[in-house]
Amino acid sequence: MVSDGKRKKRDRKSKTQTTLDPTSSTINDEVFSVNNVEIVNSTTPTSAKKHENRRGRPKKRPKHSPEKPEKPPPIINGEIGVAPPVEGVNRVVPEMDAVVKVFCVHTEPNLSLPWQRKRQYSSSSSGFVISGRRVLTNAHSVEHYTQVKLKKRGSDTKYLATVLAIGTECDIALLTVNDDEFWEGVSPVEFGELPALQDAVTVVGYPIGGDTISVTSGVVSRIEILSYVHGSTELLGLQIDAAINSGNSGGPAFNDKGECVGIAFQSLKHEDAENIGYVIPTPVIKHFIQDYERNGSYTGFPFLGIEWQKMENPDMRMAMGMKSDQKGVRIRRIDPTSPESEVLQPSDIILSFDRVDIANDGTVPFRHGERIGFSYLISQKYTGDNAVIKVLRNSTTLEFDIKLSTQRRLIPPHVKGKPPSYYIIAGFVFTTVSVPYLRSEYGKEYELEAPIKLLDKLLHSMPQSPDEQIVVVSQVLVADINIGYEDIVNTQVVAFNGKPVKNLKSLANMVENFDDEFLKFDLEYDQIVVLRTKTAKEATVDILTTHGIPSAISDDLKP
């Protein structure tokens, strides 16, 4: 997902949908793209405004009101032009020179034709300098990068950058520049605390509409757990009313003290919404940086491998044996591959997480007069940390010390720059299913166009083992050997010769080492594919030559 103006929009939401379902992986906030850019009055050039509405009837002026300038200068103690001070606030000018422009060349894998890559394209976004000779920007700004360059404000030189870490889930990337000249005269940005509602924010960056630095201002209008479009996850986020457009991605948001309180990363584009932008707050940014400093790489945000249900109904609480002073949420399902599956059980009531009580609606206290989803407490931990969970089971209170791990989904929401896996036999192209693959096959409306069984697995299925994958016949490269099978497209492979298919590597190994007369693939909907083993393997070589495919198996699957 790239915020730059030359990139197509990457979100996949229904045209009529405006809200996000926290239990679904459907994404509705749109990422910056030139297709989503809306012209707003605040960016209209001054020269254009002077010539607006020249034809037709002139504007009526209120009666008994003399003409006056649109913005009269303030008059204080008889002096004109002195700005009135705001009591208790000393506004500090942000460190503009620390904001840089990021130029990136991307080369995406072609998931529909996994043996090749797509045509490269360029993008530009924003970033800013932090301590330790490092630069922060968005992960989607450098996704599938082949080259990254940075340019300072007022400079005509682009400096080659090195990508140190990419946090896909939190949409943050860490860069550095080896050239000492880049760091001359640049002061790093200092981070501030999490702002309060109605606090003023200033977003700085290089958005579409010009080449120089741009500044927009607004206030914090909401603080809650948000859906991060690029990472397909939910973390703490800020909603602001400052204009965020294509190219603002990765730019800092400053408070009145000149401290950075977040990174601009996505906006909501909808006919019923105006100036709704989202900022990654400092707790998430600091978690990313400290994770990298502690481990030498990005390890991700931990998750509790459960699905839960609210306990707001009094009859349900009574039936579950909860006392009048007990509150919590009920566990619906547990991920079999998560550490929690060893101690937690379905229908357990989670009463608290790390000694913080959880309400019946799944929220916990958050600052004065505010509440937030208890997943915020989990996201403050690091991968491998321990947490104390108190549960109610059969009217008995139990406590467990659980080691937290990252989440693994049966259908991954992103491929993290890895080349796609594939295996070809007799023209049958086998590959694995991921969200980017569904986008590649069915476009932005893949939630409506993809096969219902794949969507059901995407939204509701959990992996039964750590290495489980959904393997499908992506397409059939037509040849004499596969006559009658040409219409098989994106159909899941359930078994090979009666043995369940666990993942693509196991399927490739079984086929390669099989010597019996017939290959038999069991597909979903009780379809089967039968091929003669000897002729199938012989035909594969000719099919690869015809389609210019260098290998019948991807490098990661080779023994």
CA 337/CA 302 separation, integer angstroms? 14
- How distant is the alpha carbon of residue 39 from its chain centre? 25
Render 160-188 in DSSP notation, one character per residue.
Answer: E-EEEEEETTTTEEEEE---GGGGTT-PP
Q: Is the dihedral of CA 285, 291, 292, 294 positive or negative?
A: positive
CA 367/CA 413 separation, integer angstroms? 32
CA 244/CA 224 separation, integer angstroms? 19
Asked if residues 118 and 110 have their Cβ atoms less than 8 Å apart, the reply is yes
**435-442 vs 452-460: helix axis angle to the nearest 10?**
150
Residue 327 φ then ψ, to 5°: -135, 155
b/e 272-302 (16+ beta carbons within 10 angstroms → b): eeebbbbbbbbbbbebbbebbeeeeebbbbb
How big is the CA angle at 191 (ends 189 and 196), to the nearest 5 degrees? Answer: 135
Task: Single out the catalytic residue among 124, 249, 267, 440.
Answer: 249
**Tokens 């009591």 belong to residue:** 87
Neighbour tally for 438: CB within 10 Å: 22
* Tokens coding 210: 């010009």
Active site residue 461: no
Task: Single out the catalytic residue among 171, 291, 335, 348.
Answer: 171
CA 240/CA 200 separation, integer angstroms? 9
The one-letter amino acid code at 307 reads E
Active site residue 249: yes
Residue 391 CB burial class (10 angstroms; 0-12, 13-18, ≥19): buried
| Cα separations in angstroms, 556 against 46, 153, 505, 508, 559 | 56, 42, 9, 11, 8
Active site residue 171: yes
CA 84/CA 80 separation, integer angstroms? 11
The one-letter amino acid code at 444 reads K
Asked if residues 169 and 213 have their Cβ atoms less than 8 Å apart, the reply is no
Across-strand partners of 331?
A: 308
Task: Single out the catalytic residue among 29, 106, 125, 140.
Answer: 140
**Tokens 């010597």 belong to residue:** 515
CA 449/CA 445 separation, integer angstroms? 6
- Contacts from 296-300 at CB under 8 Å and sequence distance 24+? 297/165, 298/165, 298/166, 298/167, 299/382, 299/383, 299/384, 299/406, 300/167, 300/169, 300/383, 300/406
- The residues carrying an active-site annotation are 140, 171, 249
